[in-house]
Structure 1
Amino acid sequence: MTATLAPTQDTPAATRPASVARGYRFELVKLVSQWRIRLVVLACWIAPALFVAAVSQQDSLPVDTLFGRWMHATGWAGPLVVLGFSGQWALPLLTSLVAGDVFAAEDRLGTWRHLLVAIRSPRRIFAAKALASLTVIVLLVAGLVASSVIGGVVAVGNRPLVGLDGDLLSAGDAAGKVLLAWACVLAPTLALAGIGLLGSVTLGRSPMGLLLPALVALAMQLAQMLPLPVPVRLALPGYAFIGWKGLFTGPEQLGPLLIGIVVGLVWAFVATALAYFLFLRRDFTNQTDGGSPRRALIAGALPLVALLAVSAATVAVAVPTSGSGIQQAKVETSLAGAFGHLYRQQTDELHRPAVTEAQLKSSAACTKGDVSRGAEGAGNDWRCVVSWQLPGASATGQAIYQLDLTPDGRYVADGDGPKEVNGYFLLRTSNGDAPNPLWQFDGNVDLLGTTKG
């Protein structure tokens, strides 16, 4: 005969961990209650609109920034200028501020013991903190998008946008591409957020954990300025921060962009998984554990370096392009196409008889320094002669351009004569006076495209 003990009022009831939803709400309230987070949210929802509206009304435009030269012409150029700045500086700093501090704050305040007593599950604590950080980051990105779009459309208007191939996008097409471009940069932003979580877990109260996403983003910017092989360039988790420009070419250069998005999402998953793995193995009973640089190097940095090597090798196998991806034939094809589109725009603004690209038959012959055949690579020593043929004319028109081509494929074409074709002069348009569209314009070379003209 066996005896069983009946539960009494003095027997403590079995405790269950708090749900992820309750932990998530708790962590979200903790984040948005911080004055610096509130200030940053407010700035993201107001500052871009003020910036775009103010710059659009100035005589001097940020022509060295992609789409900056079109901020007088359309309200959809402003959000793209803000996007370029955000990818370089704003988003890395925002992810550092949110994800890079979400675990380190508990180390500084010594509140892990209280948090564990309240939630009673390290797994649910990690999930709640990661989801709360993601929510705040998405809120900040949404603010940047909405504010810059409202500021541009209100200040300038819902007008067509000139793409990087010289073609004129309707206002509806421009709006869709602008929103899609902002959506694409969520992938590298999540990658930086995962790196921020990893740094916050491994480095504890050290300020390096807070700065890690920004430092990684700065390193990626410097790497993109180097003459790297195309597979290595695309394997960097931040490539989508600049790859979105492929949406504004014709045909769209989606290959590099899609690779950049996939790489960014893989980095986000791996970095977050490493942070989760290390967080569960942490000794919460040691109140002096402020993070270990050795642990950060072995369990954090080395796996990410290995991931970069694997990503580069995978991209190298998947894509046929090697080297810089910038070849003479690609540059000539891109420049000739952009010139044809912009020539039509100039013809329309000068009220001349309409002409099509097929009638123009524009072509380009480029050299790089002293290299006239087989030139490749970035540089500001590209010189191109564009030729075209007008219907009914016996002579072939020619115009000279100097190109400044960056390692990521973007170039600025600067007209070098004849003055009546691609020199500087103002044209009267329906939106006011505007510079000659053939004087200076931006273009982009497809790094994964073929070299056939």
Structure 2
Amino acid sequence: MPGEAATLPRPDAAPAPLWRGYRFELVKLLSQWRLRVVALVCWLGPGLVVAVISTATTLPTDTVFGRWMGQTGWAGSLVVLSFACAWVLPLLTSLVAGDVFAAEDRQGTWRHLLVAVRSPRRIFLAKALASLTVVLALVVGLAVSSVVGGLAAVGGRPLVGLDGQVLSPGHAAMSVMLAWAVVLAPTLAFSAVGLLGSVMFGRSPMGLLTPVALAFVLALAQLLPLPVLLRIALPSWSFLAWRGLFTEPAQIGPIVAGVVVDLVWALLAAVLAYAVFVRRDFTDPAYDGAGPRTVLSTLAPLAVLVAVSVAVLAAVTPTSGSGIDRPKLERSLATAYGHLYRLQTRELARPDVPEAQLNVGASCDKGGDLVEDAGPGNDWRCVVTWHIPGATAVGSAVYQLDATPDGRYVADGDGPQSVNGFFQVRTPTGDVPNPLWQFDGSVDLFTATTKG
């Protein structure tokens, strides 16, 4: 009939505008009940959790900045960021980007979509941009909610950094925002990997699990004593490197290197996903993902990228080995102790002593005389010394250090009791956490490793 013939698309009809396809894909994503629930959790959950934990008597001291949650609201957002980097952000990319193409395969709607849009290229771009928009909105929700919850619970007081330096509320706010901005780069890389998995594996759940599986493998790799260059060449490094923003001076080198690696990963994975997508046969209703040969040939460039990244980092940075050695730990520990000693002095209402007069020093040993004083481990033992003007005796304190492969260490006080033996100190206004009892620190992995 003439009416039916008029409804068929003309072969020479122009493709639908990209912005219409983007809006259509965005509406489809936001109409899914599971994503609505996830969005609600991201925008409300962190704030509630931070508010409850910040006012509790037990704090997550095993998490970086966790011991300061009861003192300032900025610490709560950083604790949420640490937890999100471990599992939440890869999971979000799986739920959104890892399923955006596979959903069409499960529902068998590719032919309808192609008739409406008339351009596989614009379909890919629309889906990629829509999924990226949703992921960014979820990350923003995590950041905003955690900050609001922390500030509402305990206020925006100064934050103690990873070198013991006290950051003003304005400085802390800027550093927290920059930390959340840094993790957008690895989130973008995992989102691109999710697109690639969704394209390659079709209706198979493997596409949905690709970012989570990659995050699990990389998390295990970051726990191993890998060379620092290989560690930074992995797309998960920036999930840890943001901590360098909370030292003075900031450890910018590892952050910049990690962000660049993540952006290259995101670009390469997106290009590979696009290449696989435009070559697939949309007329095959039994399509069940790319074959093993295609999958291996597609993943090979990502492995090559890791090797190239290691070579480039080796050429432009002076670091080598694990990036952790005795001189670095001694300098970092002495600096942090000097800052925290003055903080404890102010808490106890004692006369302040400039750090230049304290002349703080540290001497560390790893595992005794038969073990090389380098690398991560929980067998570092350090003695910190300092001088009080007008006193003839030299003060000293012992610390057990647990240095992790990513450059973070936890210094646990081992006496004397009057300095670091108790987790609280009594002040004129009440008991407060003892800053010298246990504290976190960080070494710059990009500085040259000292020999000898």
Structure 2 residue 144 is matched with structure 1 residue 146? yes
Cα distance in 1 for partners of 2:310, 2:32 equals: 40
Corresponding residue number in structure 2 for 1:50: 48
Higher alpha-carbon deviation: 290-299 or 75-84: 290-299
Counterpart residue identity of residue 324, structure 1: S
Corresponding residue number in structure 1 for 2:5: none
Shift of 1:436: 1.2
Cα distance in 2 for partners of 1:362, 1:181 equals: 30
Structure 2 residue 292 is matched with structure 1 residue 291? no
Q: Secondary structure at the match of 1:76?
A: helix
Cα distance in 1 for partners of 2:58, 2:424 equals: 15
Corresponding residue number in structure 2 for 1:253: 251
- CA offset digits 1:244-289 (Å, max 9, x no partner): 0000011111101110000000000000000001111010011111
Corresponding residue number in structure 1 for 2:421: 423
1:374-389 equivalences under 5 Å are 375-389=373-387
Shift of 1:441: 0.3
C-alpha distance 54-287 of structure 1, shift in aligned 2 (>3 A): same
1:32-431 equivalences under 5 Å are 32-371=30-369, 375-428=373-426
C-alpha distance 52-293 of structure 1, shift in aligned 2 (>3 A): farther
Q: Secondary structure at the match of 1:399?
A: strand
**What RMSD over aligned residues (CA atoms) do the two structures have, in Å?**
1.7
Shift of 1:209: 0.6
* Matched residue count: 444
C-alpha distance 354-207 of structure 1, shift in aligned 2 (>3 A): same
Shift of 1:434: 1.6
Corresponding residue number in structure 2 for 1:7: none
Shift of 1:320: 1.3
Q: Is the 8 A contact 2:324 2:449 kept in 1?
A: no
Match of 1:30 among 21, 28, 38: 28
- CA offset digits 1:346-385 (Å, max 9, x no partner): 1111111111111101000000011389610000000000
Q: Is the 8 A contact 2:323 2:449 kept in 1?
A: no
Cα distance in 2 for partners of 1:430, 1:236 equals: 49
Cα distance in 2 for partners of 1:299, 1:15 equals: 35
Q: Is the 8 A contact 2:103 2:203 kept in 1?
A: yes
Counterpart residue identity of residue 71, structure 1: M
- CA offset digits 1:95-148 (Å, max 9, x no partner): 000000000000000000000000000000000000000000000001000000
Shift of 1:313: 1.4
Higher alpha-carbon deviation: 433-442 or 399-408: 433-442
Q: Is the 8 A contact 1:199 1:296 kept in 2?
A: no
C-alpha distance 125-368 of structure 1, shift in aligned 2 (>3 A): same
Shift of 1:429: 5.6
C-alpha distance 67-364 of structure 1, shift in aligned 2 (>3 A): same
Counterpart residue identity of residue 347, structure 1: T
Shift of 1:430: 8.5
Shift of 1:317: 1.5
Q: Secondary structure at the match of 1:242?
A: helix
Counterpart residue identity of residue 100, structure 1: G
Shift of 1:314: 1.3
- CA offset digits 1:15-65 (Å, max 9, x no partner): 110010000000000000000011101110000001100111111110000
Q: Is the 8 A contact 2:318 2:448 kept in 1?
A: no
Structure 2 residue 437 is matched with structure 1 residue 439? yes
Cα distance in 2 for partners of 1:96, 1:23 equals: 22
Counterpart residue identity of residue 420, structure 1: S
Q: Is the 8 A contact 1:100 1:211 kept in 2?
A: yes
Cα distance in 2 for partners of 1:395, 1:144 equals: 50
C-alpha distance 351-228 of structure 1, shift in aligned 2 (>3 A): same
Percent identical across equivalent pairs? 63
Counterpart residue identity of residue 20, structure 1: L
Shift of 1:231: 0.7
Shift of 1:73: 0.5
| TM-score, normalised relative to structure 1 | 0.95
Q: Is the 8 A contact 2:345 2:352 kept in 1?
A: yes
Q: Which runs of 5+ in 2 are unaligned?
A: 1-7
Q: Secondary structure at the match of 2:162?
A: coil
Q: Is the 8 A contact 2:229 2:320 kept in 1?
A: yes
Higher alpha-carbon deviation: 335-344 or 426-435: 426-435
Higher alpha-carbon deviation: 158-167 or 372-381: 372-381
Cα distance in 2 for partners of 1:440, 1:13 equals: 71
Q: Secondary structure at the match of 2:432?
A: strand
Q: Secondary structure at the match of 1:404?
A: strand
Cα distance in 2 for partners of 1:388, 1:428 equals: 22
Counterpart residue identity of residue 260, structure 2: V
| TM-score, normalised relative to structure 2 | 0.96
Q: Is the 8 A contact 2:191 2:211 kept in 1?
A: yes
Counterpart residue identity of residue 192, structure 1: F
Shift of 1:300: 2.4
Cα distance in 1 for partners of 2:237, 2:430 equals: 37
Cα distance in 2 for partners of 1:185, 1:114 equals: 37
Shift of 1:292: 2.4
Shift of 1:432: 5.3
